[in-house]
Structure 1
Amino acid sequence: MRISKVYSWFYGYYPWMVVFATTLVLFGSLSKSNSNQDEVPLKASKFQKPLRLPNKGYGYPPVLAYWISGSKGDSNKMVRLLKAIYHPRNQYLLQLDSGSSDYERENLGFLIESETVLQTFGNVNVEGKSYAVNKMGSSALAATLHAAALLLKINSDWDWFIPLSASSYPLMNQDDLLHAFTFLPRELNFIDYISNPGWKQRGEINRIVVDPNLYYKSNTPINYDVETRKPDAFEIFGGSPWVILSRSFMEFCIYGWDNIPRKLLMYFTNVAYPLETYFHTVICNSFEFQNTTLSNDLRYDIIPKSPKPKILNTSKYGEIVAGESVFAQPIQEDDPLLNMIDEDVLHRMPDNFVPGSWSSCQGINQGEDLCYR
């Protein structure tokens, strides 16, 4: 029944110095992923078995690359989310920003290391380094691009990039999701967007923004500067900051063989909420990718009308599970809503992984293809 909902998604588918200086900092932060000084995230344990690549090709499910990000106090939430979306075929990268302590980051690695299943399949990585991130500024965009670059460096044989926050939670098990995605074009991008981001009724798109988190170690509020004119060399699109993007499009944004991603990266370095506009504008202004979009982010999310965030709770349960969404957010840690989803939708026992077709592989020959299907 969940799978039939998935198919409904596809109906109808076919000042200047300041600016310059800040842009240079952003490029510097992104280039770290290609420098010798940058460390590829280490496996949670040095005793983990070598990564076995899942079978790919016609008839095989795709490989999903998940990035789970969090901040201070989010370690347990991230582990619970990981267990709810885990599958041996997929790749996972967990990262805490500088709002967290060294102890929290070490503890996150310990929690991952203590799970025998994760050691067996070796497809979960924890980023040991941290940096400041402000969701309103370009540091959040830099973090997202960096995460995708790391996942490409670890293993580029994945099909879709899915960023999640520690407050996200799945509304579908991975077996069903992978099965549904098996029949989709691998270049398809799930990105909710419209032209002219006046949909937010914000003035930030017309103002210069400086994000100090690009050059400070600690999380810092962003700064606004003088107003500027709207661009006329490209059309701006905006929408949900939550996306599911194809590997080919992420490579296009990171490697930048066309000038559009670089040009727009420099522009959105100094725009507020770039995660709500950057990918949307790049994809809609790129001839190669503008026809690969499905305007749906597959998320059940509340967009607050005030700065105070709104949290999902049990009062929304019926509406949440009845829709076509694959993920819901934000949900507080240990909220009863999580237990309801675990019991009724995912059939997940407390502190366990969601059962799936791969579950029988635990304790037997992990070389069998069944584990990776």
Structure 2
Amino acid sequence: MRPPTRSPLCLAAAALVASAALLLICGAWPGGGGFFGVSSYSSSSSSARRASKATGPEAPPSFAYWISGTGRESRKVLRLLRAVYHPRNRYLLHLDAGAAAEERAELAAAVRAERAWRELANVDVVGEGYAVDRTGSSVLAATLHGAAVLLRIANDWDWFVTLSSSDYPLVTQDDLLYAFSSVPKELNFIDHTSYLGWKEHERFEKLIVDPSLYMDRNTELLPATEPRQMPDAFKIFTGSPWVILSRNFTEHCVHGWDNLPRKLLMYFANTAYSMESYFQTVICNSSKFRNTTVNGDLRYFVWDDPPGLEPLDLDESHFDNMVNSSAAFARRFVEDSPVLKKIDKEVLNRSSVCTSLSGRQGMDVDSCSKWGDINVLRPARAGEQLRRFISEISQTRGCS
């Protein structure tokens, strides 16, 4: 009698659930950052510098950024990091298996070379580049791993923010921190809808296998032939893959004290574009968290008509609409696009020295990283505009 075999669908689900089990282990592991494959850089003065960060109800909030990229994108990741850097925040950078080990090492060396990042010890680099397909469930596994690491290495942040190398901020971090100072820290900013339309048949009734869950290289999805029924144990929600999650909800997704996050991991293991539905479905099916949901991701996109799978690349023709949109971030940008220089100069007030990604010889880059009191925010007009917008959209909460 032949032993039973496991189908690729079972393998994909098992791989994603195994990664979820690893998150639970990581959350309780009594080791240092090296267990996570994270390269952390600190100096003898970092403890004193970090101690100056005020915490508590009256202190400004802080963010934990998960910034992801792939091969030949380390320069884009560094430019984005500089644009969103603030000493109050935490940052975790990841280049997936599409990047060579040498590029990952260069990224880590660049982080180590920046004095402010080294002394404040709040920028980390994932040392291992695991495979990711951004149209499958491996990108969800990577994001949950990033959240687990950030929960493990720091307990002083309030919101988890996902960014890719093609994103860029439309406000300074002082503006963003100021705007979020006015809202409860349990709120989650997740674009969502229960209307599935064409996605019901094309996304949720069709099964896929994401080999990147169990391969060591980025691999394209494999479609399955058999369909599946729509679930009746939970209701599916979908929306933008870019989220700003509260620490409490992030812990819920990582640790999964009830069975819902784990059950949905099993389901979305074989769903295309699972990052567009997983967090939406978890939070909107949770009686504890659904009323903490704000229907907005604070991102600026421009879509074709009819819309494609990805938004259009942004350029200078979109600048005025971007800066007046009340969004905190925008995408997508191509590397070294002229509009990025315009944002640096007119929105972020960053000089050409501070935004340069070329060699450091002759550049006074350390002058770009000097901070006064990191607990005092200096918002501009954009911060006031974003604060009003967030306050307005936060009045309506829940899922519909």
> TM-score, normalising length from structure 2?
0.82
Query: Offset of 1:307 from its aligned partner?
Result: 4.9
Q: Pairwise mapping of residues 280-295 of structure 1 onto structure 2 (< 5 A)?
A: 280-295=280-295
Q: Pairwise mapping of residues 21-100 of structure 1 onto structure 2 (< 5 A)?
A: 21-33=11-23, 34=25, 38-44=35-41, 49-50=46-47, 52=50, 54-100=53-99
Name the SS of the counterpart of 1:371 in structure 2. Answer: coil
Query: Offset of 1:360 from its aligned partner?
Result: 9.5
Note closer, same or farther for the CA distance 1:199–1:48 as it changes in structure 2 (3 Å cut): farther
Percent identity over paired residues: 45
Query: Offset of 1:284 from its aligned partner?
Result: 0.3
Name the SS of the counterpart of 2:335 in structure 1. Answer: coil
Q: Pairwise mapping of residues 1-373 of structure 1 onto structure 2 (< 5 A)?
A: 17-33=7-23, 34=25, 38-44=35-41, 49-50=46-47, 52=50, 54-198=53-197, 200=199, 203-225=202-224, 226-303=226-303, 305-307=307-309, 310-352=312-354, 370-373=373-376
Instruction: Tell me the residue number matched to 2:396.
Output: none
Note closer, same or farther for the CA distance 1:301–1:131 as it changes in structure 2 (3 Å cut): same
State the distance in 2 between where 1:189 and 1:77 align.
27
Q: Which runs of 5+ in 1 are unaligned?
A: 1-14
State the distance in 2 between where 1:78 and 1:30 align.
26
Name the SS of the counterpart of 1:237 in structure 2. Answer: coil
Greater displacement, 34-43 / 17-26: 34-43
For 1:91-149, what per-residue CA distance to the aligned partner results, in whole angstroms no more than 9, with x for missing partners? 00011000000110000011111111111211000111111000111100000000000
Q: Which amino acid aligns with 2:151?
A: L
The Cα RMSD (Å) is 2.5
Note closer, same or farther for the CA distance 1:21–1:169 as it changes in structure 2 (3 Å cut): same
Query: Offset of 1:184 from its aligned partner?
Result: 0.9
For 1:314-347, what per-residue CA distance to the aligned partner results, in whole angstroms no more than 9, with x for missing partners? 1111111111110000101100010111111111
Greater displacement, 222-231 / 36-45: 36-45
Q: Which amino acid aligns with 2:80?
A: L
State the distance in 2 between where 1:45 and 1:102 align.
22
Instruction: Tell me the residue number matched to 2:382.
Output: none
Note closer, same or farther for the CA distance 1:341–1:326 as it changes in structure 2 (3 Å cut): same
Note closer, same or farther for the CA distance 1:208–1:38 as it changes in structure 2 (3 Å cut): farther
State the distance in 2 between where 1:56 and 1:195 align.
37
State the distance in 2 between where 1:73 and 1:342 align.
22
State the distance in 1 between where 2:310 and 2:86 align.
35
State the distance in 2 between where 1:353 and 1:89 align.
20
> TM-score, normalising length from structure 1?
0.88
Greater displacement, 305-314 / 316-325: 305-314
| Count of residues in correspondence between the two structures | 351
State the distance in 1 between where 2:159 and 2:291 align.
17
For 1:195-216, what per-residue CA distance to the aligned partner results, in whole angstroms no more than 9, with x for missing partners? 0322657612111111000111
State the distance in 1 between where 2:310 and 2:294 align.
30
State the distance in 2 between where 1:44 and 1:82 align.
16
Note closer, same or farther for the CA distance 1:308–1:320 as it changes in structure 2 (3 Å cut): closer
Q: Which runs of 5+ in 2 are unaligned?
A: 357-365, 377-400
State the distance in 1 between where 2:325 and 2:208 align.
37
Q: Which amino acid aligns with 2:38?
A: P
